[in-house]
Every structure is written in C-alpha cells, then in structure tokens.
C-alpha cells in the first residue's frame, strides 16, 4: 500500500461497525485472501458498480496512454475515471480487467459487481496482489476497516484519502 502505508506501520482496525456500515469507495480495509492470509487493500468497486481497467487508456487529463480504472457507479452511465492521487505516477503494468471473477484479462472488459462483492486494489499497482490476482472479495471476507495508523509515532494519523470520480 505504498506510499500511504509502509511495512511496519501499526494500524487500528474497526472490525465491528463494518457489518452495519458497508465499505465505501476509497476505504482501506483488511481482506481475507483465498489463501487464508490477510492483506490491506483499498475498496475501488462497490456492489452494483461496473468496472474495467484499461491498460492503454488516453483522455484529456492524461494525454499519455496508461492504466486507468474506469467505473460506472451503480452500473449506470456515464463512465468515470478514478482519480487516485495516492497512486504513484509510475503505474505502468499493462493491466486490463476484468474477467468474470474480477481478475486481469487480455483486454479491457467491463464487469458489473454482484451483490455483496467488492473490487479491491493495492496503492502500489505495479506489484500489488489484489482483486486483479485473487478476484472479487465477498463481504464476508472483509475483516475490518482501517481507522488510523498509530505507529510509528511520527506517522500517526488517518490513512490517505480515497479517490474521486472524474469525467472522461
């Protein structure tokens, strides 16, 4: 989750309220991966959203081709580009998504997330193991919402803010 979180950061996680207050786009959560391990990821797609990652996207705001996360919130047009200031500008891995399970695919294909399923990404997109690798995350595999970093003391505070949706 670089640059926002680093190895060795200690996090306060809310495991209780997540059951009554579902995650929102941009929330940082702890997920239980299919292999049984846990990982800290950012919620990108919500149930009902249509999502795709276009590894060669070009628009007025980003004249050079590169990966872009595109979303139709709630599955309703128009498409929006996820503006993510916390993602380092060197995201160059030629990502295309999504196959029916939410994993990487050979081309950009839209996927509408079913009820109770979330699409999560790590902030360090070139090396992150996330939905592109292990697929959509069902709500029962969301362990908790990260509230704040409490250690090291010099980095105490809330985790970086989430994304905004920008017009294409």
Which CATH number is 63's domain given? 2.10.109.10
pLDDT at 93: 78
142 closest CA partner among 164, 112, 116: 116
Domain range for residue 138? 10-160
Flag whether 2 is in a domain: no
Task: Please give the Cα distance from 132 to 16 (Å, whole number).
Answer: 27
Task: Flag whether pLDDT at 63 surpasses 70.
Answer: no
Residue 41 CB neighbour total at 10 angstroms? 26
Flag whether 64 is in a domain: yes
Our count of domains for the chain comes to: 1
Flag whether 166 is in a domain: no
Flag whether 5 is in a domain: no
- If one compares 9 and 81, the residue with the highest pLDDT of the two is 81
Query: What does the pLDDT look like over 72-131, one tens digit per residue?
Result: 999 998 999 988 887 777 777 778 889 999 999 888 899 999 999 999 999 888 888 999
Flag whether 165 is in a domain: no
Residue % of the chain over a pLDDT of 90? 45
Task: Evaluate whether 145 touches 17 at the Cβ level (below 8 Å).
Answer: yes
Flag whether 52 is in a domain: yes
Flag whether 111 is in a domain: yes
Query: What does the pLDDT look like over 148-163, one tens digit per residue?
Result: 777 777 777 777 777 8
Task: Flag whether pLDDT at 60 surpasses 90.
Answer: no
Q: Residue 136 burial (CB < 10 Å; 0-12/13-18/19+)?
A: buried
Side-by-side strand order, sheet with 142-151: 10-14, 142-151, 28-32, 38-45, 117-121, 137-138
Place of tokens 């007025």: 60
Flag whether 31 is in a domain: yes
């Amino acid at each position: 989750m670089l640059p926002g979180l680093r190895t060795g950061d200690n996090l306060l996680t809310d495991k209780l309220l997540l059951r009554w207050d579902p995650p929102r786009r941009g929330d940082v959560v702890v997920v239980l991966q299919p292999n049984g391990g846990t990982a800290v990821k950012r919620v990108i797609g919500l149930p009902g959203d249509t999502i795709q990652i276009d590894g060669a996207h070009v628009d007025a705001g980003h004249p050079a081709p590169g990966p872009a996360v595109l979303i139709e919130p709630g599955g309703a047009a128009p498409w929006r580009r996820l503006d993510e200031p916390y993602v380092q500008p060197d995201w160059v891995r030629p990502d295309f998504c999504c196959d029916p399970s939410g994993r990487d695919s050979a081309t950009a294909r839209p996927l509408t997330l079913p009820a109770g399923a979330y699409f999560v990404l790590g902030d360090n997109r070139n090396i992150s193991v996330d939905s592109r690798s292990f697929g959509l995350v069902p709500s029962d595999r969301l362990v908790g919402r990260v509230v704040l970093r409490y250690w090291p003391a010099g980095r105490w505070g809330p985790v970086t803010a989430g994304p905004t949706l920008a017009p294409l």
